[in-house]
Every structure is written in structure tokens, then in C-alpha cells.
Amino acid sequence: MSSSWGDKLRISIFGGSHTQAIGVNIEGLPAGETIVWEDLLVQMARRAPGQDRTATTRREPDEPQVLCGLLDGVTTGAPLCAMIVNQNQRPKDYSQLKYLPRPGHADYTAQVKYGGFQDVRGGGHFSGRMTAPLVFAGAVARQLLDRRGVAVGSHVVKIAGCDRADPAFDPVGLTKETLDRLNREYFPVVEPSVREAMRVAIERARLDQNSAGGQVECAILGLPAGLGDPMFDGVENRIASLVFGVPAVKGLEFGAGFAVSERLGSENNDPFYMDGGQVRCRTNHAGGILGGITSGMPVIFRAALKPTPSISREQDTVDLRTMADAKLRVTGRHDPCIVPRAAAALEAAACVAALDLLLSN
């Protein structure tokens, strides 16, 4: 079921880039949870388009409307469905995409799968815009997590074309304060000066009719040890099955991640020690997950995001009407770099996964 995810907490996402509305139905929320609307809007704003030149110039207020599930701002235990009306539509921009698929985008595979009936406008259900309902669900989950002592945050580690990287999270000493500062920012970085360098690189790509990939690191702090299940229902499996649903993600690693493949056991094992009556690890190469189960250390993952495939310079493609080689010049509004906004989506995925884990326990 492509657009549904979850176990005790379940989300079902609907909509497309230019449909009348997009949204999400959230099942399994406990009753009696107050949802603070302002905090929710903070998260929506982090992902909303049109904020600065690093993002698409499309402007959408992205104000969600709750259709059900809240009574006086408190969850009722029934499904909570929220809708975001698509106001700013320019469907004409996309007319050619049905026959001239954009390299790197889902235009071609959607054409094969749906036989030409798919909604090509703005990528339809494959649009990065589909992360708006995910961010909504994550923002709801985040408030419940916060009450249970769990914090989620992320930062942009690198942007293609920028030779500076943001310093990685301290996987052992990471604090809630750091995450709570980052998780309200539009373009979160640990070291503020890096942000400007990254913006320059994105702007350079934009002016060059190009786009830039990047990498985001995300952390979940405060999960108790013992959550998750062995084999296919481990914390890594669950997060992965959500995170690869964020468009453009092509790689995912936990803790030391790919670096483990360069290491010996004595370098990679995280020694246990007692810390004030609590079992902790001196290092956290495992990213807080052992055997698929939380260890009580911070859960840390990094996702690689490809550059937006929609670039305005001319590209080679095929014409699906004539089945001949063709040239394509993409018009319309597109993000030169999705990475800063994707941070909000990846955090949302982490929030949804973390709450599902807590509720499934």
C-alpha cells in the first residue's frame, strides 16, 4: 500500500502536486493529547516552498485544515485527517512531461506503470510536495514525543558544490537543547557560518540552471532501551521504510554507517559502562540500535538526497509518442536544492517512526 505506513500509528497520505488538496489520515493517535497549533505551523513552515532563493518560487501558505480527530484541539482517539488546499496551481507548465520524461524523475516510470493516466502536473503523487502531509503527521507526533521526553532534530551536513561540511552530531553527548534549537529552523546547521556557504553553492547551481544534492543527519534523543523487534521490524527497517519514501533519498546509514565497512571489530564495538546507575556506551557507532532494538543511546541516521532532477538546462530524453530520441528543456518552478526543506521531512519521518515504536511497545 504505497502511501500508507505504520503499525500502531498509521498514516495514509493522499494528493498530488496540483490536485485540489493534499493531506494525511492519521490512525492510532492516543486520545487526550493536546495539539498546539502554533508549533504545528512552525514545522509546516520549515518545509513550505517559496521561502528563499534556495527553494522553488512557488508560494503556498500550506495552512492545514483539520477535518476530524481533534475536539477543542485535543485528540479524540479517532482518525485525525488534515487537508492542505493547493492554491497556487500552474498546470500548464507540465503539459509536455507526459511525452518527454525528465531524466532522473518519475515521469517515465509513472507512464509505464499507469499507462498515461497518471497526473503529470508537477509530478503528481511523486512530487516533493507530498512531504507536506508527512511533515504534518510528524509535527503531530513530535508533540506527543516531546511530552514523553523524546526530541528529534536534524541538520544539513553537506550540499553539493559547497566545500564546507557541517560538523557531525556528537553521537554520545548530543543534547536536547541542540535538537530543539535546530528543529525549528528552516535551514538547520550546527555551525551557522556553514549555512551561508551552502546557500552560495545552491545559488550558484540555480544561476547555472542546475541543481544540487546533499546530505542530512537526523537524531532521535530520549527513546528508552528495548524498542523495536528483531529481523524485519527493527528500528532500522522501520525508519528505512519511511525515509526512502521521502523523494530523492538514495542512501541511508545508521550510526557509523558506511564507515563500518572500513573497520575492525575492536574499532567499531561500542564498549558498555555504568553511568550513574545507567548502562551507556562510550562510543555510539551503532547509532543507538543493536539487533534492531534501541540501546538508549541517541538514534542517529544520515540520508543522501540527490539533486533535484528538474533542471532548466537542455537534457537528452526520449519522445514517448514517436519513440525517438529528443531534447528537453524543463520549465516551471523548481527547487535548485531540496535538501534544506527535506530536513523537515526526514525529521517528520523520524517522529512518526519514533512514536509508532513507543506506542507499539
Secondary structure (DSSP) of 131-149 = HHHHHHHHHHHHHHHHHTT
Does 316 engage in binding with a second copy (CB under 8 A)?
yes
The residues in 121-150 that bind a second copy, with binding defined as CB under 8 A, are: 124-126, 130
Residue 255 burial by Cβ neighbours in a 10 Å radius (0-12, 13-18, 19+): buried
Measured distance CA(337)–CA(293) in Å, rounded: 34
Identity of the residue, 180 or 319, whose beta carbon is nearer to a second copy in the bound complex: 319
* Site for a second copy contains 240 (CB under 8 A): yes
SS3 assignment, position 105 = coil
Cβ–Cβ < 8 Å for 309, 95: no
- 249 contributes a contact to a second copy by CB under 8 A: yes
Number of residues that bind a second copy (CB under 8 A): 146
Beta bridge partners of 154: 218
Among 182, 311, 343, 358, binds a second copy (CB under 8 A): 311
Rounded Cα distance between 351 and 347, Å, is 6
**Shortest Å, Cβ 232 to a second copy:** 4
Which of 40, 44, 48, 81 is close enough to bind a second copy by CB under 8 A?
A: 81
* 2 part of the interface to a second copy, by CB under 8 A: yes
199 vs 238, beta carbon nearer a second copy: 238
Separation between Cα atoms, residue 169 and residue 359, nearest integer Å: 27
Binding flag, residue 77, a second copy (CB under 8 A):
yes
> Judged by CB, which is closer to a second copy: 4, or 87?
4
Among residue numbers 323 through 352, which ones bind a second copy (CB under 8 A)? 323-325
Binding positions for a second copy, 177-236, rule CB under 8 A:
205, 208, 210-215, 225-226, 229-234, 236
Q: What is the DSSP string of 45-79?
A: HHH-SSSSTTS-S-------EEEESEETTEE-SS-
Closer by beta carbon to a second copy, 125 or else 341: 125
* Residue 336 backbone class (left: φ over 0; alpha: ψ -120 to 50; beta: rest): alpha
Residues 271-300 that bind a second copy (CB under 8 A): 271-274, 277, 279, 281-282, 285-287, 290-296
Q: For residue 93, state whether it binds a second copy (rule: CB under 8 A).
A: no
Q: Report which of 328, 343, 294 is spatially closest to residue 152, judged by C-alpha positions.
A: 343
Nearest-approach distance from CB 159 to a second copy, in angstroms: 8
**Least separation, in Å, of the C-beta of 38 and a second copy?**
20
**Per CB under 8 A, 89 contacts a second copy:** no
Task: Judge whether 39 and 140 are in contact, CB under 8 Å.
Answer: no
Q: How far is CA 29 from CA 82, 128, 203, 353, 359, in A?
A: 14, 25, 41, 13, 9
Q: Of 36, 73, 74, 149, which one interacts with a second copy (CB under 8 A)?
A: 74
From CA 220, how far away is CA 188, in angstroms rounded? 15
Sole binder of a second copy in the list 41, 42, 45, 66 (CB under 8 A) = 66
Closest separation between CB of residue 359 and a second copy, Å? Answer: 10
Taking alpha carbons only, the member of 239, 341, 345 closest to residue 24 is 345
Stretch that binds a second copy, among 114-122, 135-143, 172-180, 189-197 (CB under 8 A): 114-122
